Structure formats: structure tokens, C-alpha cells
């Protein structure tokens, strides 16, 4: 039977105001046939669903969400639009609520004729316009047998308002219009501040999306044509001038320049680009003009992949949030019961109005908004901050696991070392250096230049290292003739009248049949390796190095990097076994690697950290990807995780404490509805603002 690959969709959701809303939608989607996984994020107003397209369709999810009383707009409303909407209603509410408060709190001292009727007239715009979204959402939820935060707000303010209307008609003066008006005003104030803060929390992903220019200069024959970036195709030749932003990924075909890749990788130094070099969408060309062939366009570019990864991470949930999810799922119904109980108990000891006011205070103070925002806002800011530093964290689970890591295992090649051979030393044999041959003396540069000239057409990694070593010293290579290569033995060529032989694997250079010198080639450690290892050890983390190389070579590299624990002569399958041994000893292990052979170990480890300079397979297997390929990123990622988890715990503590303390205080009649609404609004803003400290 043919199986269908699972698909994933992100749906914008409107009308969510609290954790109970998100929990209700998530539970409904998760119970839909054909859905593998559903996650609803209150901070991003997004529902993410992984499903079997052969069983269920996106329209079914839309129907389910709308059936609960929420909306699924065609496009997600930007945070600034949400903020503007709240601000408009807030202004109207504040203008009309202010005189209501003056009249209501004067307790007759102002002697204003028809004061209750004036308060009614002033409160109506607050109820009918400013508070309309709360009432409409509550009614929609009620029609579908659900209850959420809008239900609590609507019941609280509605009860105060309707009671006051009845008392006004009866000619009484004990009215509570100011409670209804001020509660709505304060809640709108909280929502406005919260929307602004949540907008700041999502800045990172917007900045990433804004990096790609809208048009590219594509070469059509000999003419440069400005083409919308979504119409650029793989194979097109794109022209880039100084100061311009690169439109799509590609390979340089002509020209040289330096490119600022800091906004993608966090690396501050510009990267030199020559023909054959790879360039990425969103990076900035610093100096020279060049042309490049488009290789990846649309969603295939590294920039768009980063955006997608950050979106997924920000829409994910950390395991620490599960308790909050469970609590919020039962919260609204529980609060309604507590409010009803408060009302009933107070009726035995006080007038109806007092019982009603205390019940309203319970309804308002119990808002679980802060609970629902505690985790996702911190994850949004944390993963966004990581992306700005070139650290891609795939989700809340990886973020939470990272802070528990006590052991880091580093692959050697490409992780601790540069991953490619480099010329480390050139020696000249005595006869040549003393000039006993008719050609005169030979310096180190002479030997390297002749060897590199002979190797310039070689595809062997050691030959390429010799050529790069010569070019790195600024040497000019000669033309070579009579070139021949023997697998495993080296190359032979005639250069500037000399017969030059470069032997493998020791890179001994023979000129005209006489041993002239030797070129030492090694895979050198990364310049930041020792510093990075020191940072990890300062964090209380054990650092190991694992490699398939022999013990002698491995120990040499480990000493230079300051690593004391080395696992050498380990095959790829053996790496997995070594990780398991550490885990069996009770360690929480992060594996850091960059090659295809590291992928199984990355998957086995509690946390896989892939170096972005490595392969796509390694990046796919890792829970964290370091775009720079800089080893310091390992410590940065773990430090970021620790800070983020600390913020999440603080948020959850204050969100729970707020409700645990606030509800009994309100039920005992010690908290007015207005103070309750102010405290409720403040709690949500506090949680989001606390998360913003990660920036």
C-alpha cells in the first residue's frame, strides 16, 4: 500500500486571548483523524499541524478552529496592526471611562444630577465598541460549548454593567459602571502593551525575512535586467555591485569581492569571494562587483531555510510548559466555579452587590494569559537571539535539553580542526640552500612555488593544500608541462626548465632528480578551539574529543585545544556506542560534528550540535546548528539555553504565584475588580517584558 508523506501547515489564528484558548484549539486539532501532531502558540497566534494529506485536509483544520469560535485569516496580522487595533479601542475606552470613574468614585459628593444615567451613557461606548471583541468572542465560544478568557471578562464586566443598568432604572445610586468601564480599559491597556512587547519578541524573524532584496539584476545576454527575486531561476547569472545585497544563493563565476555575512552567521569579518566561492541570499557585497550563477532560489536558499527553522522553533513547545498546558486546559471552568462559589458564600454575609463585586474580582484576577505567554515568549526571544548570533535552535525541546548538558563530545576533523590540510612548514635540504647546484640557492618559497606549480592541476587534497599554501604566501605560480599523476604516489611535471616531483604522502619535493626539500601538511586546529574548550569547562561541562584518527595524532590535537579526554581510533558506528556508554553512566551528552559520518552520533546524543560549515545531513540530524562553524558557538548555544530556561522558570513561577495568591484575595473581598484588572494586565506585560531581557 502506498504511504503518503506527512505534511505540515502553519495557520494564523485570530481571537486567542489566553492559554485556555490555545489549549482548546490544540486539543481539538490533535484529536482530528489524520493529525500526527498539533501545537498552538499563543505568543505567535499560530497553529502548527503535522498531518496525513490522504486522510485530512487543511480546510478541515480551518473548520475545526472556526467551530470553536476563533478565526483563521488568510494572512497573519502583523503585530503592529494588532497593537494599533488595541490602541484605538483603548483611546475610546479611556476617554469615556475617565469621567465615569470621577462620577462613580465621588460617592455623591459632586451632586451631579442624573449621575447614574450619565454614567450609563458614558459606559455604553466602552461596552459596545471598546469591549466588543471580548463579548463577540465569548458568545462565539459559548455557541460551541466552550469557555475561555473572553468568557471570564464578559461575565465579569457584563454582570457589573447589567446590575448597574437595573439599579439605574429602579432609581438607585449604588451602581458599578466604573468597574465595567475601567476593567475593559485596563485590559485593553494590557493587551496594547503586550502586543507591543510581543512584536519586539518577534523582531528577529522579521529582520531575517527583510534581508532578501525584492529584485535581482539578472544577465539576459549582455543586458542586465532587474527581475523580481521570486522569478529568478537556478542557472541565471546575477550581477552584484558594491554595497548591494545578494538576492539568491549561488556560485561566483566572475570577479572578486568581500561579502559581509554577519547577519546570517554572526561572523563580523567579511568573507573573501572568488570564482567558485558560494554566496548566500541576504548577505551584503562590500567592495568589488562580481557575477554569480544562481544555484538555490525561493525556499531553497539558506536564508529561507533559516527563516523556516526559526518559525518552527518559535512555534514549538518546551517540555517544561506541559504543566502550564494541563492547568490552563481546566482553568476557565475552574475559575467560573470559584466565582460562583464566591458569589454564593458572600450572599450569606453581605448584600447582593457586594457578592457580585467579589465574584467579578475573582473572574478578572484569574486570567491565565501570563501562564500561556510564560514559555512561548521566552522561546521566541531566545531562538530569535540565537539566529542573530548564527545559532539555529530547532525547537523548545532542543532548547530545554541544552541547559541540562554536562558533557560535550567534539568530533576532531572539521570541528576541533579546520577540516582540511594546510601547509604548516617548508624545509629545504642543505645542498639546495647552500647553492651547490648550477641553478644557485633555493629558498623555502622556491621549493613551495615549484611544488605548487607542479600541483596546480591536481585534484588531490594534499596538492590543493600546497597550491593554497603558495598562494597564501603571495607566490606566483609557473606554467607546468608534461604533467602526470600516479595514484598514491604523487605528481611529476616540468616547471621553468626543472623536472619537479612531489611525492605522496610525505610531500617530499625532488628537483631534477635531487631531494630539494619537504612540505609538511597537517589539519590544523581552529584558532578559537582552546578558548571554546576553556569556556565549556568554565561552565562545569566535561569536554571529550572523538576521532577515527590514531591515538598519537588525536592526543596532539587534544593537547593544543586543552582537551583532556580523548577517544581515538573510533569508527562511525563506534561513535554511537561511545555516546551510549556516556549516557549509560548518567551523563547528558551533546555531540558536536560536521560530517556525514557524524550524523548517527548526533542523532544518538541527548543534543546534536551540527557545525554549519559541514554537511546538510549533519545539520538535519542536529537539534542545534552553528551557522559560523565557529567552536565558540557551542558554549554560546548552551549559555543561551541556560538563560532562556531561567527566564521561563521565572515566568512560570510568577504566573502561577499571581493566580495562587490573587484568587483567594479576591474571593475574600480584599481586591476590587478594578485593581484585579490592573494586576491581571500587569502580569501578562511583566512576563513578556521579562522574556525580552534575553535580547
Average of per-residue pLDDT across 22-42: 86
Three-state secondary structure call for residue 597:
helix
Would you place residue 268 in the very low, low, confident or very high pLDDT band (cuts 50, 70, 90)? low
Distance CA 450, CA 30 (A): 68
Please state whether the peptide bond connecting residue 673 to the residue before it is cis, i.e. omega within 30 degrees of 0: no
410 has which bridge partners?
545, 592
Average of per-residue pLDDT across 630-646: 92
3-state secondary structure 416-465: HECCCCEEEEEEECHHHHCCCCCCCCCCHHHHHHHHHHHHCCCCCHHHHH
Q: Which residue has the higher pLDDT, 306 or 382?
A: 382
pLDDT value at 470 more than 70: yes
pLDDT value at 98 more than 80: yes
Nearest to residue 505, comparing CAs of 461, 546, 555?
A: 461
Neighbour count for residue 564 (Cβ, 10 Å): 12
> Tens digits of per-residue pLDDT, 4-24?
678 888 888 887 776 677 878
Q: What is the DSSP letter of 298?
A: G
Would you place residue 479 in the very low, low, confident or very high pLDDT band (cuts 50, 70, 90)? confident
Q: How wide is the angle at C-alpha 525 spanned by C-alphas 522 and 526, nearest 5°?
A: 130
Please list, in sequence order, all residues whose beta carbon lies within 8 angstroms of the beta carbon of residue 660, skipping any fewer than 6 positions away: none
Would you place residue 322 in the very low, low, confident or very high pLDDT band (cuts 50, 70, 90)? low
Instruction: Identify the residue whose cell numbers are 578558548.
Output: 531
500, three cell numbers? 619537479
Nearest to residue 45, comparing CAs of 74, 23, 15?
A: 15
54, three cell numbers? 490522504
Instruction: Identify the residue whose cell numbers are 454614567.
Output: 119
Nearest to residue 349, comparing CAs of 98, 616, 668?
A: 668
pLDDT value at 441 more than 60: yes
Of the segments 200-209, 366-375, 667-676, which one has the largest average pLDDT value? 667-676
> Do residues 637 and 402 make contact, with C-beta atoms less than 8 angstroms apart?
yes
Helices (H) and strands (E) in the chain, counts: 24, 25
- Alpha helix segments (H runs only) across 225-368: 262-265, 302-314, 322-349, 352-365
Q: What is the DSSP letter of 525?
A: B
Q: Which residue has the higher pLDDT, 76 or 580?
A: 580
> Within a 13 Å sphere around the CA of 327, how many CA atoms are in the beta-carbon half?
18
Average of per-residue pLDDT across 484-494: 76
Distance CA 502, CA 510 (A): 6
670: exposed, middle or buried (Cβ count in 10 Å: 0-12, 13-18, 19+): exposed
> Is the four-CA dihedral 230, 231, 234, 236 of positive or negative sign?
negative
Neighbour count for residue 90 (Cβ, 10 Å): 23
Q: What values do phi and psi take at 611, rounded to 5?
A: -75, 125
Tell me, yes or no, if the pTM score tops 0.95.
Answer: no
**CA 151 and chain centroid, separation:** 33
Average of per-residue pLDDT across 467-490: 80
Q: Which residue has the higher pLDDT, 323 or 543?
A: 543
pLDDT value at 529 more than 80: yes
Q: Which helix (H) or strand (E) holds 479?
A: none
Q: Identify the pLDDT of residue 627.
A: 81
> Tens digits of per-residue pLDDT, 363-408?
888 766 677 777 878 888 888 888 888 888 887 888 888 999 999 9
Q: Identify the pLDDT of residue 1.
A: 42
Average of per-residue pLDDT across 220-237: 89
Q: Identify the pLDDT of residue 615.
A: 46
The two beta strands, 624-626 and 607-611, are parallel
pLDDT value at 532 more than 90: yes
Mean pLDDT of the chain: 83
Instruction: Identify the residue whose cell numbers are 482530528.
Output: 32
Average of per-residue pLDDT across 429-449: 66
Q: What values do phi and psi take at 209, rounded to 5?
A: -65, -30
What share of the chain has pLDDT > 90, as a percent?
19
Q: What is the DSSP letter of 107?
A: T
Q: Identify the pLDDT of residue 85.
A: 84
Average of per-residue pLDDT across 19-33: 83
Distance CA 277, CA 263 (A): 19
Active site residue 542: no
Q: Identify the pLDDT of residue 433.
A: 58
Of the segments 225-239, 414-428, 494-508, 516-530, which one has the largest average pLDDT value? 225-239
Nearest to residue 123, comparing CAs of 155, 94, 166?
A: 94
Would you place residue 238 in the very low, low, confident or very high pLDDT band (cuts 50, 70, 90)? very high
> Do residues 465 and 421 make contact, with C-beta atoms less than 8 angstroms apart?
yes
Distance CA 128, CA 353 (A): 23
What's the helix, strand, coil split of the chain in %, to 5?
A: 50, 20, 30
- Alpha helix segments (H runs only) across 49-78: 58-67
pLDDT value at 459 more than 80: no
pLDDT value at 436 more than 50: no
pLDDT value at 680 more than 80: no
> Do residues 251 and 292 make contact, with C-beta atoms less than 8 angstroms apart?
yes
Three-state secondary structure call for residue 510:
strand
> Do residues 40 and 86 make contact, with C-beta atoms less than 8 angstroms apart?
no
Q: Which helix (H) or strand (E) holds 379?
A: helix 369-388
Q: What is the DSSP letter of 245?
A: B
Q: What values do phi and psi take at 663, rounded to 5?
A: -65, -50
Q: Identify the pLDDT of residue 510.
A: 84
pLDDT value at 525 more than 80: yes
**CA 345 and chain centroid, separation:** 49
Q: Which helix (H) or strand (E) holds 596?
A: none
> Tens digits of per-residue pLDDT, 585-623?
999 999 998 765 677 888 888 998 888 754 454 456 568
Instruction: Identify the residue whose cell numbers are 645542498.
Output: 431
Would you place residue 117 in the very low, low, confident or very high pLDDT band (cuts 50, 70, 90)? very high
pLDDT value at 130 more than 70: yes
pLDDT value at 469 more than 60: yes
Q: Which residue has the higher pLDDT, 276 or 200?
A: 276
Count Cβ neighbours within 10 Å for each residue of 147-178 and write b for 16 or more, e otherwise: bbbbbbbbbbbbbbbebbbebbeeeeeebbbb
Q: Which residue has the higher pLDDT, 69 or 328?
A: 69
Would you place residue 635 in the very low, low, confident or very high pLDDT band (cuts 50, 70, 90)? very high
Q: Where are the beta strands (DSSP E) in 234-279?
A: 237-240, 249-254, 257-260, 271-273, 278-279
For helices 632-667 and 352-365, angle between their N-to-C axes, nearest 10 degrees = 170
The catalytic residue among 236, 249, 325, 411 is 411
Average of per-residue pLDDT across 350-370: 84
90, three cell numbers? 483603548
Q: Identify the pLDDT of residue 432.
A: 60
22: exposed, middle or buried (Cβ count in 10 Å: 0-12, 13-18, 19+): buried
Q: Identify the pLDDT of residue 668.
A: 92
> Do residues 148 and 18 make contact, with C-beta atoms less than 8 angstroms apart?
yes
590, three cell numbers? 551533546
352: exposed, middle or buried (Cβ count in 10 Å: 0-12, 13-18, 19+): exposed
Nearest to residue 237, comparing CAs of 292, 278, 198, 280?
A: 292
The two beta strands, 257-260 and 284-285, are antiparallel
> Do residues 617 and 638 make contact, with C-beta atoms less than 8 angstroms apart?
no
> Do residues 575 and 672 make contact, with C-beta atoms less than 8 angstroms apart?
no
Distance CA 287, CA 150 (A): 56
Distance CA 340, CA 362 (A): 9
Neighbour count for residue 483 (Cβ, 10 Å): 15
Amino acid at each position: 500500500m502506498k504511504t503518503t508523506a506527512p505534511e505540515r501547515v502553519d495557520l494564523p489564528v485570530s481571537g486567542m486571548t489566553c492559554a485556555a484558548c490555545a489549549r482548546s484549539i490544540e486539543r481539538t486539532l490533535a484529536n482530528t483523524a489524520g493529525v500526527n501532531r498539533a501545537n498552538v502558540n499563543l505568543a505567535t497566534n499560530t497553529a502548527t499541524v503535522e498531518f496525513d494529506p490522504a486522510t485530512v485536509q487543511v480546510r478541515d483544520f480551518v473548520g475545526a478552529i472556526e467551530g470553536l469560535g476563533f478565526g483563521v485569516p488568510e494572512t497573519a496580522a502583523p503585530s503592529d496592526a494588532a497593537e494599533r487595533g488595541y490602541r484605538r479601542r483603548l483611546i475610546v475606552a479611556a476617554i469615556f471611562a475617565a469621567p465615569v470613574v470621577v462620577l462613580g468614585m465621588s460617592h455623591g459628593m459632586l451632586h451631579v444630577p442624573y449621575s447614574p444615567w450619565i454614567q450609563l451613557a458614558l459606559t455604553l461606548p466602552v461596552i459596545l465598541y471598546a469591549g466588543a471583541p471580548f463579548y463577540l468572542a465569548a458568545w462565539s465560544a459559548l455557541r460551541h460549548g466552550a469557555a475561555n478568557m473572553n468568557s471570564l471578562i464578559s461575565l465579569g464586566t457584563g454582570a457589573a454593567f447589567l446590575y448597574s443598568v437595573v439599579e439605574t432604572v429602579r432609581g438607585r445610586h449604588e451602581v458599578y459602571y466604573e468597574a465595567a468601564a475601567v476593567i475593559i480599559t485596563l485590559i485593553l491597556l494590557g493587551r496594547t502593551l503586550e502586543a507591543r512587547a510581543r512584536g519586539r519578541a518577534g523582531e528577529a524573524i522579521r529582520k531575517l525575512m527583510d534581508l532578501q532584496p525584492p529584485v535581482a539584476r539578472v544577465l539576459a545576454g549582455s543586458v542586465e535586467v532587474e527581475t523580481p527575486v521570486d522569478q529568478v531561476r537556478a542557472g541565471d547569472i546575477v550581477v552584484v555591485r558594491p554595497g548591494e545585497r545578494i538576492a539568491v544563493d549561488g556560485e561566483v563565476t566572475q570577479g572578486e569581492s568581500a561579502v559581509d555575512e554577519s547577519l546570517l552567521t554572526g561572523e563580523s569579518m567579511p568573507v573573501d569571494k572568488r570564482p567558485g566561492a558560494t554566496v548566500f541570499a541576504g548577505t551584503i557585497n562590500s567592495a568589488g562587483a562580481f557575477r554569480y550563477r544562481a544555484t538555490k532560489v525561493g525556499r531553497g536558499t539558506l536564508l529561507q531555510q533559516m527563516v523556516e527553522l526559526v518559525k518552527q522553533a518559535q512555534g514549538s513547545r518546551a517540555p517544561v510548559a506541559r504543566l502550564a498546558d494541563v492547568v490552563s486546559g481546566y482553568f476557565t471552568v475552574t475559575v467560573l466555579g470559584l466565582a460562583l462559589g464566591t458569589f454564593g458564600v458572600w450572599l450569606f454575609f453581605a448584600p447582593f452587590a457586594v457578592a457580585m463585586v467579589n465574584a467579578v474580582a475573582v473572574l478578572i484576577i484569574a486570567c491565565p494569559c501570563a501562564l500561556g505567554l510564560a514559555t512561548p515568549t521566552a522561546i521566541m526571544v531566545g531562538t530569535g537571539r540565537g539566529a542573530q548570533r548564527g545559532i539555529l535552535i530547532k525547537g523548545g525541546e532542543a532548547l530545554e535539553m541544552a541547559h541540562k548538558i554536562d558533557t560535550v563530545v567534539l568530533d576532531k576533523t572539521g570541528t576541533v580542526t579546520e577540516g582540511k590540510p594546510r601547509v604548516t612548514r617548508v624545509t629545504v635540504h642543505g645542498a639546495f640552500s647552500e647553492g651547490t647546484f648550477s641553478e644557485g640557492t633555493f629558498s623555502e618559497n622556491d621549493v613551495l612555488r615549484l611544488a605548487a606549480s607542479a600541483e596546480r592541476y591536481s585534484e588531490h587534497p594534499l596538492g590543493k593544500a600546497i597550491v593554497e599554501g603558495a598562494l597564501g604566501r603571495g607566490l606566483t605560480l609557473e606554467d607546468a608541462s608534461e604533467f602526470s599523476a600516479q595514484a598514491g604516489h604523487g605528481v611529476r611535471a616540468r616547471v621553468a626548465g626543472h623536472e619537479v616531483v612531489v611525492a605522496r604522502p610525505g610531500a617530499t619535493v625532488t628537483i631534477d632528480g635531487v631531494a630539494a626539500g619537504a612540505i609538511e601538511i597537517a589539519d590544523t586546529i581552529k584558532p578559537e578551539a582552546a578558548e571554546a574548550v576553556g569556556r565549556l569547562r568554565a561552565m562545569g561541562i566535561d569536554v571529550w574529543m572523538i576521532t577515527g584518527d590514531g591515538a598519537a595524532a588525536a592526543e596532539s590535537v587534544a593537547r593544543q585545544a586543552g582537551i583532556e579526554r580523548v577517544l581515538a581510533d573510533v569508527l562511525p558506528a563506534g561513535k554511537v556506542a561511545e555516546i551510549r556508554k556516556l549516557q549509560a553512566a548518567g551523563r547528558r551528552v551533546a555531540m558536536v560534528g560536521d560530517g556525514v559520518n557524524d550524523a548517527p552520533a548526533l542523532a544518538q546524543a541527548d543534543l546534536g550540535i551540527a557545525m554549519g560549515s559541514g554537511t546538510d545531513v549533519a545539520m538535519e540530524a542536529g537539534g542545534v546548528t552553528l551557522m559560523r562553524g565557529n567552536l565558540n558557538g557551542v558554549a554560546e548555544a548552551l549559555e543561551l539555553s541556560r538563560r532562556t530556561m531561567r527566564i521561563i522558570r521565572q515566568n512560570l513561577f510568577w504566573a502561577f504565584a499571581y493566580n495562587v495568591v490573587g484568587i483567594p484575595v479576591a474571593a475574600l473581598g480584599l481586591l476590587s475588580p478594578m485593581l484585579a484588572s490592573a494586576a491581571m494586565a500587569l502580569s501578562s506585560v511583566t512576563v513578556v517584558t521579562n522574556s525580552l531581557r534575553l535580547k
